[in-house]
Amino acid sequence: MNAQVPAGGPARSTYDVIVIGAGPAGMAAATTAARAGLSTLVLDENTVPGGQVYRAATTSPLAGGTVLGADFAKGAALAGGLATSGAEVIQGATVWSLDRDLVVGVSRGGASRLLKAGRVILATGALERPFPIPGWTLPGVMSVGAAQTVLKASGLVPSGTIALAGQGPLLWLLAAQILRAGGTIRAILDTTPKANYLAALPYAAGFLASPYAFKGLALIREVRAKVRVIRGVNRLEACGTGALSSVRFEARGVTQTLALDGLFLHQGVVPHVNLAMAAGVEHRWDEVQHCFHPVLGAGGTTSVEGLLIAGDGAGIAGAEAAVERGRLAALVAVKALQPEASGLPVLAEVEAALARATRGRAFLDRLFEPQREYRIPTGDETIVCRCEEVTAGQIRQSIAVGATGPNQLKAYRRCGMGPCQGRLCGLTVTELMAEERGKTPEEIGYYRLRAPVKPVSLAEIASIPPDDAAVGAVVRG
C-alpha cells in the first residue's frame, strides 16, 4: 500500500465532537465545544480556517488593507479564538463520508481514516446557486465567488474586459473590491426582476433596521459611481468557441452584445447539503430560497441523532448568524456530553444575537429571488449537468420517455453522476423536472446522495487503517 497516515493527522480515532468545516459557524462551534472541555476535532478542506466568507482570514496578502473591507477582519478574530481553544484543527482534510452512526470518513494527504464522534456539527456552509445559461461552461466564465476567492487568497484581480452578471449581495461586494483593487469592470448586468422590488417592499422595515442595510446601500452607491449598471437583464448568454468571447443579453427589449475576456456569474448562495443528505438528514424544499434545507430543531438538531447543523448549511442567513448558530449547536453538544461545564456563552444572549443577525433576511431573500429563466433553462441546448454534459433538452426528453425523478435521470442520462455529485446541477434538475411534470420541487425531490460525497482514491479506501475506532460498537453520548 502506498498510503500512509501523514503527520498531523487526527491524534485520536474518537472525539466528543467533530466539527466539519472551519468557516464562521465551524470556528465558533469548535471554540465553544473545546472551551467547555470536550475533545473537539475540526476538519476543514481549505489550507487555513475561514471558510469562504473569511477565506485566508489569517494569510491573505490583502488582509488589513482597504480592498476586502472591515468585516473581513472578523474572520481573523474567530480564527484566533479557535487557535487558543484547545480544539484540534486539521486543514486540508476532505470529509467524504458521514453516516447515522456518526462515523466520519476523512481524507488528508492521500490517506483516509474513519473517525467516530459523540456529536457531529456540520458547518459545511453554502455554495453558489447554479447559473445555467447558454455558454456557462466556456473557459472565461467563472462564478463571482471564484473571483473573490482568488482575490482574498492570492491577491488576484480580474484583468482584461470583464463583466459581472446576476444579482445578490456578493456580486456588489466583489464589484467594490475589484474597483478598490484598481480593476475595471465593463458592466454589471443586473438580472433582478422589477417585480422583486415590489415583493420585497413589505419586508423593508426589518431590513432597514438590520446591520446589512447601511453597508449594502453604500456598497451599491460606491459601485454605481464607477460602473455602468444595466438593469432588467434577460436572455443572458455567454458566447464563444472554445473560450468566452462575448456576452449577449436583452435589456428593455433590446438585444445587446459586449465583447469580453471574463464573465463572472452569481445569483445567490444555497446550503451545501451533500454531506448532510448522505448522512440521511431529512431536508425540505424552501419555496422562498428555491433550494433544499435541512429540517432542524432547536440549536440545529436534525433527524439523525447526534448530528447538528450550523451556519449557512442550515439555511442561508449569512456569516454573523453562522457564528451564533455555531455556538448554539455547540451548546447542545455540551449540554449532552459535559453538562457541568461552566463559562459558556449564555443561551439567551446567543439567541438574541442570532435574532439581530437574521433581521432583514426576508427582505434580501425576496429582493434577490433568482429569476425563473436562470433557474430553469428555457432553451434545450443549455448544459445543466456540467460533469456529464447533459443538456436541458436531453433531460426533457428523458422525462418524456418516463423518468419521473432525479434518480431515474441518473440511469437515463448519467445526469448528476459525475464527480461534482450534483452540486452544480441538482437544484436545476429538481426545478426543471417539477416544471415539466407539473409537480412541486418537494414532490420531485433531490438526488439520493451517498458517500463518498467527494471522490476518493481506491488506494485510500484499500488502506484505511484497521484499528480505527469506527469499527464495531456504536456508542453515543
Partner 1 sequence: MFRRIGDPAAATVTIEIEGTLVKARPGDSVTAALLASGLDFCRHTPVSGTPRGPYCMMGVCFDCLVTIDGVGNRQGCLVPVAEGMKITLQKGKREIGQ
Partner 2 sequence: MSDTADAIIIGGGIHGCSTALHLALRGLRPVLIEKDYAGRHASGVNAGGVRQLARHMAEIPLSARSMDLWERISDLVDDDCGFECHGQVLVAEDAAELEAMRERVAELTLHGFTHEELIDGAELRRLVPAVAETCPGGVVSRRDGAADPARTTQAFRRKAEALGARVFEGLKVEHVVREGRDFVVRAGEKTFRAPILVNAAGAWSGRIAAMLGEAVPVEAIAPMLMITSRVPAFIKPVVILRGRKLSFKQFPNGTVMIGGGYLGRVYPEENATVLDWRKLQQNARTVWDLFPIMREATIIRAWAGIESRMPDDIPVLGKSARHEGLYHQFGFSAHGFQLGPGTGAMMAELIVTGQTNTPIDGLGISRFLS
Chain residues in the site for partner 2 (CB under 8 A):
1-2, 97, 99-101, 103, 105, 114, 280, 402, 404-405, 407-408, 410-412, 414, 417-419, 421, 448, 450-452, 455-459, 461-464, 466, 470-471
| 456-463 own/partner pairs: CB under 8 Å, 24+ apart | 456/94, 456/96, 456/105, 456/107, 456/112, 457/3, 457/110, 459/1, 459/2, 459/3, 459/110, 460/3, 460/107, 460/110, 460/111, 460/112, 461/112, 462/1, 462/3, 463/1, 463/2, 463/3, 463/111, 463/112
Task: Select the residue interacting with partner 1 from 135, 168, 262, 445 (CB under 8 A).
Answer: 262
Nearer to partner 1, 343 or 419 (CB): 419
Antiparallel, parallel or unpaired: β 254-259 and 246-251? antiparallel
In the complex, least distance from residue 266 CB atom to partner 2, rounded to whole angstroms: 28
Stretch that binds partner 1, among 41-49, 219-227, 276-284, 299-307 (CB under 8 A): 41-49
Between residues 67 and 123, which has the closer beta carbon with respect to partner 1?
67
Residue 472 CA to residue 477 CA, distance in Å, equals 16
Identify the DSSP state of 303: S
Q: Quick one: which of 7, 70, 194, 242 contacts partner 1 (CB under 8 A)?
A: 242
What is the four-CA torsion angle of 403, 404, 407, 411, rounded to 10 degrees?
Answer: -10
Site map 44..83 versus partner 1, x via CB under 8 A: -xxxx---x---x--xxxx----x----------------
- By CB under 8 A, which span of 42-50, 192-200, 282-290, 326-334 interacts with partner 1? 42-50
Between 315 and 452, whose beta carbon lies closer to partner 2? 452
One-letter amino acid of 371:
Q
Cell of 324: 451564533
> How far is C-alpha 352 from the geometric centre of its chain's CA atoms?
25
Segment holding 468, helix H or strand E: none
* Binding span for partner 1 by CB under 8 A among 34-42, 158-166, 304-312, 338-346: 158-166
What residues numbered 108-147 form the site for partner 1, per CB under 8 A? 110, 127-128, 137-143, 145-147
Binding-site ranges for partner 1 (CB under 8 A): 45-48, 52, 56, 59-62, 67, 92, 94, 110, 127-128, 137-143, 145-147, 149-150, 153-160, 181-182, 242-243, 261-262, 272, 386-389, 418-420, 423-424, 454-455
